[in-house]
Amino acid sequence: MNVELIAYSSPMPYQCGTACYFNTVYNPMHIIEQAASVCYDSEPDFVKFKIAKGCAKTGHLSVYEHAYFTFHVKGISRACLAQLTRHRHFSFSVRSQRYCNERCSEPVFPASTDEDQDGIIADAYDYAWDAYDRLIENGVAKEDARMVLPNGAPTELYISANARALIEASHLRLCSRAQQEIRNMFDLMKKEIAPLSPEIAGMMVPQCEANPKYQFCTEGESCGRHPRLQDVLATATLKQLEEADEK
Ligand SMILES: Cc1cc2nc3c(=O)[nH]c(=O)nc-3n(C[C@H](O)[C@H](O)[C@H](O)COP(=O)(O)OP(=O)(O)OC[C@H]3O[C@@H](n4cnc5c(N)ncnc54)[C@H](O)[C@@H]3O)c2cc1C
C-alpha cells in the first residue's frame, strides 16, 4: 500500500502580507484559524492557532471543513475501497475495472494472515485471474470479466477530503475494531499530514481518544485500550454513592 499526500489547502500569497512566499509550506490550520476568527471578531493567531484549537475543544468542527487534502493511494484492495467509499464527505476518483485491464495487477493479501493461509489465498487468486484472462481472451468485455475478480483485487485512487471529514472518519477507522488494511491506510494518511499539521494529525485518533481528557470506548466490547463508557459511568456512580455515604 502506498499513500501520498499530493495537495492541500494553503493561503494565497497576498493573504499573508510581504512575508509570504510561494514556496513556503503552510500549516492548513492557518486557514482554519483565519475562518474561525470571524465568528468571534478576533485577530487570528497564526502561531498557536488558539481559536481553531478552541473550536475543536467545544466541538465546533465545521471550521475544520475549510482545509482540504488530496491523497494518491495505490495497492489497497477493493474490499478496503468499499469501506472507504462509505464516508460520504470524501471525494474519489478510482481506477475503473470497466475501462482498465486488470490482467497483471498484484492482488492484496490480508495483513493478518500467515504463510499457510497466504498459500490458500494465492491459489484462489491464481484461479480468479486465470478465469479473468480467459474471459478477456474470449472477447468478454472488461466490465463483465471483472465479475470473477475477488475482493482482494487491487485498486488505485485519488481521495480528497476536508480536515473535519478526515478527523471524524479516523475516529472510526483507527479504532481497533476496524479492519487492519483500512487502519493502515488511515495511519499512512495521518503520517502524511503530520509534518504539515501536527494539530490536525493529532486529532486523527480512534473514537476512544477523541477527547483527550475523557478517554472511553463506545464499542460493545473494549479492546482494552480504554474502559467502556458504561464501566466508567458505573464506577463514577459507585464513587458518588460512596462519597454520599461518607457524608
Ligand atoms: C468497524 C466498522 C464496522 C462496520 N460494519 C458495517 C457493516 O457491517 N455494514 C455496513 O453497512 N456498514 C458497516 N460499517 C460502515 C458504517 O456503518 C458507516 O457507513 C461508515 O463508518 C461511515 O460512517 P458514517 O456514516 O458515520 O459517516 P460519513 O459518511 O463519513 O459521514 C460523517 C457524518 O456525517 C453525517 N451524515 C452523513 N450523511 C448523512 C445523512 N445522509 N444523514 C444524516 N447525517 C449524515 C453523520 O453525522 C455522519 O456520522 C462499519 C464501519 C466500521 C468503522
The domain ranges of the chain are 2-74+155-206, 110-152, 216-247
Q: Is the CB of 178 under 6 A from ligand 1?
A: yes
* pLDDT score recorded for residue 25: 77
Spatial distance between the Cα atoms of 105 and 165, rounded to a whole number of angstroms: 30
86 lines ligand 1 (CB under 6 A): yes
| Torsions phi, psi for 153 (to 5 deg) | -60, 140
Determine the pLDDT at residue 109.
94
Alpha helices in the chain (DSSP H): 29-37, 50-57, 78-84, 115-137, 142-145, 163-173, 180-193, 198-203, 229-246
Radius of gyration for the chain, computed over Cα atoms and rounded to the nearest angstrom: 23
Q: Alpha-carbon distance 245 to 45, whole Å?
A: 49
- Which residue's CA is the nearest one to ligand 1's atom 6? 83
Q: Grid coordinates 494553503 are at which residue?
A: 10
Pocket test for ligand 1, best of 62, 84, 85, 86 (most atoms within 8 A of CB): 86
Grid cell digits, residue 57: 475543544
Alpha-carbon distance of 50 to 11, in angstroms, equals: 18
For ligand 1, whether the C-beta of 87 sits within 6 Å is yes
Q: How far is CA 198 from CA 28, 172, 179, 203, in A?
A: 10, 20, 25, 9
Q: CA neighbours within 13 Å on the CB side: how many for 139?
A: 0
Name the residue with the closest Cα to ligand 1, atom 47. Answer: 168
The answer regarding whether domain 2-74+155-206 maps to CATH 3.40.140.80 reads: no
Q: Quick check: CB of 88 below 6 Å from ligand 1?
A: yes
Contact between 1 and 72 (Cβ < 8 Å): no
User: What's the pLDDT score for residue 14?
Assistant: 64
Q: What angle do CA 136, 139, 143 make, to 5 degrees?
A: 60
Give residue 72's identity as a one-letter amino acid code: H
Closest CA to 152 of 80, 44, 104, 208: 80
The residues annotated as belonging to the active site are 173
Would you state the pLDDT for residue 23? 61
pLDDT at residue 136 in the model: 97
Residue 157 Cα to ligand 1 middle (Å): 20
Question: Which of 65, 89, 92, 172 should be mutated for ligand 1, with most atoms under 8 A from CB?
Answer: 172
Ligand 1 geometric centre to CA of 39 (Å): 29
3 state SS of 226 = coil
- Spacing, Cα 169 to ligand 1 middle (Å): 9
Atom of ligand 1 nearest to the CA of 90: 30
Q: Residue 47, exposed/middle/buried by CB under 10 A (0-12, 13-18, 19+)?
A: exposed
- pLDDT digit of tens for each residue in the chain (247 aa)? 999 999 999 887 766 655 555 567 789 999 999 999 999 999 999 999 999 999 999 999 999 999 999 999 999 999 999 999 999 999 999 999 999 999 878 899 998 888 889 899 999 999 999 999 999 999 999 999 999 999 999 999 999 999 999 999 999 999 999 999 999 999 999 999 999 999 999 999 999 999 887 888 988 888 888 988 888 788 777 776 677 677 6
Nearest alpha carbon, ligand 1 atom 16: 86
